[in-house]
Structures are given as structure tokens and as C-alpha cells.
Amino acid sequence: MRTIPNIELSNGSAIPQVGLGVLRVANDQTASVVRSALEVGYRHIDTAAGYDNEAGVGQGLAQAGYASGPKRSELWLTTKLKDSEQGYDSALAAFDRQLGLLQTDYVDMYMIHWPTPFNWRSGQTWKAFDRLRSEGRVASLGVCNFLPEHLERLYAETGEYPVINQIELHPTWQQRETVSYCKEHGIAVEAYSPLARGADLEAGGGVIEAIAQQHRVSPAQVILRWHIENGTIIIPKSVHHNRQQDNLNLFDFSLSESEHASIDALDSPKRAGHDPLTFTYA
């Protein structure tokens, strides 16, 4: 079984650098996808209330024996608060529901999913998160899609930075300003859509494919290796057993300095997903 390196967080916790994302996986399919991932060696599962598949994740964990008991400590489980449930009392109530769906006693990471600057409630939400942490039901606190201005506002209101900021990040959308800010403030960067939903596999007019052929790996593995070498936590999604395996097989090759630089040069002003200044999960 492949051993996945950990990234040490500012609070002393250690998160597996590669996890399984389950965005856009149907709830009735999620349990089998989670079981498959655990079988091939994943010990990091990332879900969210907004994905509508926490129940499936919980079923998969329970069926595989990772929802409780000795195996629970081997797993990193992340979920996220729905934006419509931000706020102190509403976040506490939402977490109770989510924990029931996940069939476990705690989560390793609870995240504010979007900053919603047009209806900012992150400060009060964070206070609820802090209470959950003090109760031992949440181990680490994080955010998603926060820009430097949002991180600064959260810190001003709470006196604390998240240990992780999960953002859209891939070769054609590198968010260098946000990544730099996070590194300066001890915030680990986690990439969702690390392949730009597949669009970056053909980025640069064959650059990725040429590197893949040189190393006898897939274009997806080249991009994921680029993330690994950047120290980024990644949560690629796959519902297929063999691709789940491929997404873990990133540690038998390295990119040359010039290959890494050629991927760096693919940065562009075009994202694949949503704008954090305007988007919300209802």
C-alpha cells in the first residue's frame, strides 16, 4: 500500500498530502467510491454539506470500519459548513446534523466553505467553530476560497488564522498572491480542482503530454506531481478504482527544474470554478 506523506499544520496536526474529493459524486454512489479509495490507500476524505453526499461518505466509512474504533484515528475527514448556515447558533445546529450523517464522533477539519463578503458572518461562525473545537468534536479549523482580504478580516475579528485555506488551484489558475499570503501567515494551501476539472491536461499545447511521455506517466500524474512538489495538499476526485490508484502514484518520479518551470509558465487569468466574491452554497 502506498505511503502518502503528511503536511504538518500550524496547530501541530498532520494531514495526508493527497486526499479524495467527492464534489459532484451522487450520494447513492459515494459510499462505494469512499470504500474503494480506502482500499487503495487513501486516508484523507474531503466532503461538504453543499455536496449533498455526507450521508454517502458516512456509509462508506462505516462499511469500511473507519467511522469509529481504532481505524478512525488513521483517517483525516474534512467537511464544510453550508453558507446559508453561517452564524453562531446555525453553525452549531448544522454541525450536529452533519456529524450524524457522517456517522462519526468528530471531524478532523471543519471549514467555512465560502467567505460570502456580501453577507459576512465568518467572525460569528468562527466562534461556533472554536466552541466545537473546545468540545473535541472538531480537531482543526479551516476555510475555503478565502482571499487575503478575507483572511485579514477573519483574523481581525477572531485573532486567529485558519490552518488551511482550500482554494481552486491548478497550472492555469495559480492564485500566486493568495498562495504567497497563506505561506507568509502559516496557512497551508489545499487545492481543489487540481486538474481544472480535466481542462489542464491539454494546457500549453502539449507541454503536459510531453512531460508525461518523458516520465512514462499520465498527464494527470504530471500535474498532481507539480502540486506535490509545490507543497500543496491536493484532493483530486475520481470515482474509478484504477484512477484513484494513479492519483496516489506520484512519488516514484520527479519533475526536472525546467519541467516544473514550464508548468509554472502556464498560469492564466481564467479560473475553472466560481468567483469567491460572489458565490455561495445556498
Residues with Cβ < 8 Å from 257, sequence gap 6 or more?
A: none
**181 has catalytic annotation:** no
Contact 55, 87 (CB under 8 A): no
Count of C-beta atoms within a 10 Å radius of residue 61 = 24
Q: At what angle do helices 88-102 and 122-134 cross, to 10 degrees?
A: 50
SS (H, E, C) the chain: CCCCCEEECCCCCEEECECEECCCCCHHHHHHHHHHHHHHCCCEEECCHHHCCHHHHHHHHHHHCCCCCHHHHHCEEEEEECHHHCCHHHHHHHHHHHHHHHCCCCEEEEEECCCCHHHCCHHHHHHHHHHHHHCCCEEEEEEECCCHHHHHHHHHHHCCCCCEEEEECECCECCHHHHHHHHHCCCEEEEECCCHHHHHHHCCCCHHHHHHHHHCCCHHHHHHHHHHHCCCEECCCCCCHHHHHHHHCCCCCCCCHHHHHHHHCCCCCCCCCCCCCCCCCC
Which of the residues 42, 51, 66, 161 is marked catalytic?
51
Contact 101, 71 (CB under 8 A): no
Enzyme catalytic residues: 51
